[in-house]
Structure 1
């Protein structure tokens, strides 16, 4: 049955941080092996990952995502990208000469809490820089979403709650100038505020302050689309999401109530899940409850892999009760069903051992603790077992849903 239905298995990884230094062989600033992006993408192809969405996390990393998609996109490995500033990187809107990237926190919550918009002209220029990047790539078919934007209250050592809230809303305002572009959203331990901000844009609201002079951009956009922001007679700008705008809260790790709150925002609200979405029993309950037709899947590589210590690990086995989960390999116990074209799962070595392998061996070798898009079948397997559905049904439905949100 599997081989007859294996054509139904194909994956779309909506969260791949290909700009991360790990794919250049750099870990905490130290070079351990040569860049291996092409091998990573070839392994993804073997695992039937046909499309990948490269995450923009800062202005610089968004620019890098554009360049990587242009360089490595192919019919067999379709690379698309998002443009936006992650909540952990929003300090770049207020700090000049900062290297604001997802791997470079200040590690100083008190410093972050003191930050404010001291130079409105500088902040306006940074928001314009981001808007210009979006505008200049608006006709690029590889530009598929605005993001990664949102809130992260677990990581105030990157940026403060105040700055995160401010620039989540400012980026959502900019997004309204591209009314049909989907969103790629981040939510961590902040559901009430996250939902409140999004609900403002779903319902529509008037902004009389226009702190960073978005009126210029609204006037520039004109009336080319019926759902663009509008300048009212009193000078306030009215923002509201287009009724066709779709948005995905990726890497979901909230509670079942959080899940319902996010999904209730709109029929166009979707959930993205990866290995970090399945760590605990509560996480697994969310995976069980999320409607399959509202679910997208991802690796969030190089992070968020599925580990033996996670509650999800047992779901990689058809019958976990028959195995020693601390020692047994799930490959021959059901996991291989997700990978019809791979006879044996890839080898894995520590990062300092990769370059000691032959070129042929490196093609089939991953780096321990560094996630890759080729692990998409692991994520889909957990969902299939939790929902008690065939892997083919999960893969096919999620593929169709993802294409409906971010395009094929």
Structure 2
């Protein structure tokens, strides 16, 4: 049974895709309701989500994340951001005049497989554009991580394995120019390759080719930092992560062995979990297996909500054996303990019905199937019940861990 300790609960959502068009009221290219970001953030405050990390998924969306954090950051809703290019968006490094965003796939794996670096100057300019964005925001305290970068072998209809591997490594090279900056990583159905790439940087390696001319950037930087990349006597570039570098494999959906492999990379390797991390019995086993002090939590909103069909749904109840999971509301089965400031859970309507509500009603109404940071308590509740721990312990430990990785 969860114990009520109202002042102990606070949440840090490390995965919020606030740049997604859904928060502008646009779904699949069609406007259904007015933008509602401010209401989304106010609901997050009600749910004690005190800090949120906005995900940069492409160069354009990274720039948008910077702007959103600047516009909406407040003492009660601290908005930070990541900068990077998601594996599903890496085509933008090789294709000119492409809108490479998470909501705009090519849907053509064969076409993606034929893509290669043919205009070296163009690709180099795009990598420099990303680097310049990072360097230009290096002094901004809201810039908290390089990411979202990694591999996604479930989505070759966005980009090929070859391009994903290439630009995962190239972005990690750029990240070494910011040796203390944490990483925000993506891994989907690719653990062996993902771990192999990261191992290279943990151990250190020399790149004799320097295909995209990173030596020029290295020469521009004060070389006094002992963990910066350096040019060797034979002209190669040597890369190695700083021993202090922390990194999080977010939205973890791998196996128990994958979990062990990822955590074994470094004592500074962590995993992030959300609703998609809880779908199956194997996922739930990973929740049991992950050490609480190596775990961060997130919504990955507007995606990755917890659904009735997921294996995790029953863990929204303090004692699911005492409830009819098809009929009973988890709010009255223990879930409300995660939300001491909310007398009853928010209403929910279809996206085309939101603007038909009054202003006061919209303040307390979410959109069906669109996740929000206010659902962080649901994520923490699942972890607490799976691990058979008080939610206050889960929330407190995860908060402290998250602040140690991404800053308070």
Task: Identify the TM-score tier after normalising by the shorter chain.
Answer: over 0.9
The reply to whether residue 240 of structure 1 matches residue 228 of structure 2 is no
* 1:335-374 alignment, distance < 5 Å: 335-374=335-374
The reply to whether residue 141 of structure 1 matches residue 141 of structure 2 is yes
Shift of 1:3: 7.9
The size of the alignment, in residue pairs, is 408
**Partner of 2:49 in structure 1?**
49
* CA contact 2:3–2:390 (8 Å) conserved in 1: no
Q: Pick closer, same or farther for the CA change 1:2–1:275 going to 2, 3 Å.
A: closer
**Partner of 1:164 in structure 2?**
164
CA distance in 1, matches of 2:351, 2:367: 6
**Partner of 1:111 in structure 2?**
111
CA distance in 2, matches of 1:219, 1:37: 42
* CA contact 2:306–2:313 (8 Å) conserved in 1: yes
CA distance in 1, matches of 2:4, 2:347: 27
**Partner of 1:58 in structure 2?**
58
* CA contact 1:3–1:340 (8 Å) conserved in 2: no
CA distance in 1, matches of 2:42, 2:246: 30
1:154-190 superposed Cα distances (whole Å, 9 cap, x missing partner): 0000000000000000000000000000000000000
* 1:265-276 alignment, distance < 5 Å: 265-276=265-276
CA distance in 1, matches of 2:164, 2:199: 17
SS in 2 for 1:284: helix
The reply to whether residue 390 of structure 1 matches residue 390 of structure 2 is yes
SS in 2 for 1:13: strand
SS in 2 for 1:151: strand
SS in 1 for 2:134: helix
Shift of 1:5: 2.0
1:221-246 superposed Cα distances (whole Å, 9 cap, x missing partner): 13131100010110000000001100
**Partner of 1:101 in structure 2?**
101
SS in 1 for 2:12: strand
* CA contact 2:151–2:190 (8 Å) conserved in 1: yes
* CA contact 2:4–2:337 (8 Å) conserved in 1: no
Gaps of 5+ in 1: none
CA distance in 2, matches of 1:357, 1:197: 50
Shift of 1:6: 1.6
1:265-299 superposed Cα distances (whole Å, 9 cap, x missing partner): 00000000000000000000000000000000000
Shift of 1:313: 0.1
* CA contact 2:94–2:118 (8 Å) conserved in 1: yes
CA distance in 2, matches of 1:81, 1:141: 10
**Partner of 1:180 in structure 2?**
180
1:44-68 superposed Cα distances (whole Å, 9 cap, x missing partner): 0000000000000000000000000
CA distance in 1, matches of 2:159, 2:4: 51
- Cα-Cα RMSD: 0.9
Gaps of 5+ in 2: none
CA distance in 2, matches of 1:377, 1:353: 26
1:137-166 superposed Cα distances (whole Å, 9 cap, x missing partner): 000000000000000000000000000000
Shift of 1:395: 0.1
Shift of 1:326: 1.5
Deviates more, 1:220-229 or 1:6-15: 220-229
**Partner of 1:287 in structure 2?**
287
CA distance in 1, matches of 2:245, 2:319: 41
**Partner of 2:375 in structure 1?**
375
Shift of 1:2: 7.1
Shift of 1:372: 0.0
* 1:260-339 alignment, distance < 5 Å: 260-339=260-339
CA distance in 2, matches of 1:328, 1:353: 25
SS in 2 for 1:308: coil
SS in 1 for 2:400: helix
